[in-house]
Structure 1
Amino acid sequence: MKKLLLAAALAVATLLTARAQSPVSVKYHGEADLGYSIGVGTWATGRVNLHTVQGVQITKYFSTGVGLGLDYYHEPEEGGELVIPIYLNLKGYLPVGAKVSPYFSLDIGAGVGATEGVSGLSGLYCTPAVGIRAGRFKAQLGYNVQRFSESGVGISMNAIQIKAGLMF
């Protein structure tokens, strides 16, 4: 995980120095998303996602911020569990019009268990995704990797993630 965070920081630093020749207009960038993740693999558990990202738009091609979310894991036979993902969000845009931009997004950080069944558990949270922004609205499709570990035992709870939201 340290290598991934270092690589993300290097990517941001490279982009900033590459754009140093022209004036950079840094402005506030925020997002609010609602989504659903369809569990895949051995521990295929579906979950409802409510996330926000608060950060900066560095150029019309790049934004970054800190994300915080609530992921409600549910099973038909059992009660639900709540996990709080905390992550760095990197987003690269390819503007095709004044208000429309496809983008690539990467969320990397950690998920922390918040309810009794997952209390004390934490682990890697990573979601590469593609999406489209149209005005203030956005929609994205991604692959969520969520790993938990405790006492040397690891669990991967991966999912296909579909989210829609607002950018402001």
Structure 2
Amino acid sequence: MKKLFILLVSVLLFSFNCSAQSISSGNYKGYVDAGYSIGIGDYEFGRVEINTSHGYQFNPYFFLGAGVGLHFMPSYETSGMDIPLDVRDSKVDIPVFANIRSHFSKGKFAPFADLKGGTYITNGGGLYIIASVGIRYALNDKQGLSLSLGYTNEKLEFEVFDGFIDHGRMDYTRDKKQYNTEAIAIKLGFDF
């Protein structure tokens, strides 16, 4: 876990150092967003999320890049149970993803749509997808703030209760399974 944290910090520091540079045939663009995802559906796991994406701004309307995130799930145990039915290795998930963003205007306030898709590199992997819509407020020619609302679909790995070894004792086994989890994400962002 320490190696993954060091890798994440290194990527973030490198990306901020690159923000002053521009790509010769176009423009470099970076995004950082943070917020909270409210769990919905069968598994209501809320989580705090921080994501950063970096890539190429083709024109004022279209961005294509890649990113990494740090997601923290404070609680994921089965409610009302002394022994949780579903457990995880860690409360921290790190997704890596491709990112497409489209702005619909160039004004001071610009609506946008954003799509991130990738996989988790922690806790057994799993699919990560979030589709968002929002509004961007331009601070100047290169920087802006944004507010977005999105729908997240994730496939997360859990160790689930499998069965009792002996009915006379309470010893049991667990099996690894991936569950689809859904959430509504509210995020504040900064771009540079």
Normalising by structure 1, report the TM-score.
0.74
Q: Work out the CA distance in 1 between the residues paired with 2:105 and 2:53.
A: 20
Q: Which residue of 1 aligns with 2:131?
A: 128
Identify the match of residue 143 of structure 1 among 111, 127, 151. 151
- What does 1:20-35 correspond to in 2, within 5 Å? 26-35=26-35
Q: Which residue of 2 aligns with 1:43?
A: 43
The CA deviation string for residues 70-125 of structure 1, in whole angstroms up to 9 with x for no partner, is 0001118699600001000001111152x221011100101232xxxx3xx11110
Letter in 2 for 1:74: P
Shift of 1:158: 1.2
Shift of 1:153: 3.0
Query: Percent of aligned positions with the same letter in both sequences?
Result: 34
Unmatched runs of 5 consecutive residues or more in structure 2 = 1-24, 78-83, 139-143, 159-174
Q: Is the 8 A contact 1:102 1:132 kept in 2?
A: yes
Q: Which residue of 2 aligns with 1:84?
A: 94
The CA deviation string for residues 111-152 of structure 1, in whole angstroms up to 9 with x for no partner, is 232xxxx3xx11110001101111110111100111035888
Q: Work out the CA distance in 2 between the residues paired with 1:100 and 1:89.
A: 21
Q: Is the 8 A contact 2:36 2:185 kept in 1?
A: yes
Quick check: 1:165 aligned with 2:189? yes
Letter in 2 for 1:130: V
Q: Which residue of 2 aligns with 1:17?
A: none
Structure number with larger C-alpha Rg: 2
Letter in 1 for 2:26: V
Aligned length: 137
Letter in 1 for 2:180: S
Q: Is the 8 A contact 1:111 1:146 kept in 2?
A: no
Identify the match of residue 110 of structure 1 among 103, 119, 125. 119
Q: Work out the CA distance in 2 between the residues paired with 1:96 and 1:59.
A: 10
Q: Work out the CA distance in 2 between the residues paired with 1:111 and 1:161.
A: 17
Shift of 1:26: 1.7
Q: Is the 8 A contact 2:45 2:76 kept in 1?
A: no
Structure 1 residue matching 2:121: 3-state secondary structure: strand
Q: Which residue of 1 aligns with 2:59?
A: 59
The CA deviation string for residues 34-87 of structure 1, in whole angstroms up to 9 with x for no partner, is 100001111111100011111111011100111100000111869960000100
The answer to which of 88-97 and 78-87 deviates more is 78-87
- RMSD of aligned residue pairs (Cα, Å): 2.3
